[in-house]
Structure 1
């Protein structure tokens, strides 16, 4: 039985903490006992100002850093039990990353940029092309497959980056300030795309400092001084819905 059918959260943290330079004068407590549960198909925003801990939490969720305390389960897997090779495989297969900067290779076409992660997964070339074309069509860019990044608008480049993030069919799409480099209208189009991806069963975690951007998500959490608080939404009580608690 899959984790989704078994009701296992795709992201779960229990008492997650992160301390930099512990025991020194430079010690910084970045995260304090963060409990978070995100189900398959959720669209969640995590917001907060610079220095609040949201980037640290994003790096832990994305398996780009390790916690000082607590536990993190990604799609039911305790990441602390994984060796470096298995951890790299989990990042590749479970998490798709979208950043403010598009990070597209300028000499590659949109199709080649999207297909690139499949090479690391040793997918045969013909299948790479087919899957990359399907991914571009899913974000509305099927007709732009042969275009290089400098022939695409900012919004189109971000769509290519989203298609690349989806190419390994990960259960989690982790988006760090994905509209930060876009004008407001194009940003709205990208947020609408995230909603469509959620409706198709993807889990979207949006990291932002912008309350207007966060308002597009179904649930919003705020980082304050390393602590995570869920913002009450429609139909929620002071403590939030039952799914927000570990």
Structure 2
């Protein structure tokens, strides 16, 4: 990422406090500075309760910060009303979860096509785009199968296809290999790398260091604070970014 490029994800001193000013107050995130470029593959790693899921919810515009600023593709999300925020979330961000979250009575094709209904895409075009996306994740021959007729890895591929159907530049994956065996997990991680190569930005939330090692950059969260692990970068291209405390990086 060059200095002239606008980060696809940028947070500035982002913080989140639950139940502030009460005995139940919890500081879930402290002064998180993050710059992620288009086409980056980033892992955010930490144990349960470290703040990584809070950060993902803020990046995914599922929650609002208590302090700081979040720019999504150059847009300050705090300036958006509820409708504008929903449009940004639909167009910019795809979500993949550990539990797949597929509707059991729908076929793979219908599950993938579902977000296009909210975007008011005509049914024929919806089905065509859904089939193309299933082909892209290697499941073109499973379009008519329901989730119960698919393996865990295949269900996760359907979930990834659904996340990609609106062609969002950002893919947020929360423990996407957590319910899979190691071999299937490796296949899903290889798919994320291909998506990265197609210019998607992949942000992977995980507690597993072996999973995180597949990413080009790794951030570690402890007690709501985030630190980038030195020595990681765009390894395939030979470009390694230094450890950077925040957006005020030196040129």
Q: TM-score range by the shorter chain?
A: over 0.9
Shift of 1:7: 1.4
Identify unmatched segments of 5+ residues in structure 2.
233-238
2:68 is the alignment partner of 1:70: yes
Among 238, 243, 246, the residue aligned to 1:239: 243
Deviation at 1:236? 5.1
Indicate conservation of the 8 Å contact 2:96/2:171, yes or no.
yes
**Residues 149-197 of structure 1: CA deviation (Å, up to 9, x unaligned):** 1110000000000000000000100000000000000000000000000
The correspondence for 1:210, drawn from 208, 211, 220, is 208
Change (3 A) 1:237 1:178: closer
Shift of 1:225: 1.2
Aligned-residue offset at 1:242: 9.2
Q: Match for residue 18 of structure 1?
A: 16
Q: Deviations over 1:195-225 (max 9, x none)?
A: 0000111100000000000000000000111
Look up the SS of the partner of 2:43 in the other structure.
Answer: strand
**By how many angstroms is 1:245 displaced?**
4.3
SS of match in other structure, 2:214: coil
* TM-score, length basis structure 2: 0.92
Q: Which runs of 5+ in 1 are unaligned?
A: none
SS of residue matched to 1:185: helix
CA distance in 1, matches of 2:245, 2:63: 29
**Mapping of 1:29-40 within 5 angstroms?**
29-40=27-38
Equivalent residue in structure 1 for 2:150, among 149, 152, 164: 152
Does the CA contact (< 8 Å) of 1:52 and 1:224 recur in 2? yes
Structure 1 residue aligned with 2:181: 183
Aligned residue in 2 for 1:53: 51
Q: Go from structure 1 to structure 2 and tell me whether the alpha carbon gap of 1:154 and 1:14 turns closer, same or farther (over 3 Å shift).
A: same
1:239 is displaced (CA, Å) by: 2.6
Q: From the superposition, tell whether residues 132 and 226 of structure 1 become closer, same or farther in structure 2 (CA, over 3 Å).
A: same
Distance apart, 1:126 and its partner CA:
1.1
- Residue from 193, 196, 208 that aligns with 1:195: 193
1:95-244 alignment runs, 5 A limit: 95-234=93-232, 239-240=243-244
1:107–1:79: structure 2 CA closer, same or farther, 3 Å change rule? same
Q: 1:243 to 1:156 in 2, by over 3 A?
A: farther
Alpha-carbon contact 1:38-1:244 (below 8 Å) kept = no
CA 89–183 in structure 1, closer or farther in 2 if over 3 Å, else same: same
Q: Is the 8 A contact 1:9 1:75 kept in 2?
A: yes
Q: Which runs of 4+ in 1 moved over 4 A?
A: 234-238, 240-246
The count of corresponding residues between Structure 1 and Structure 2 is 242
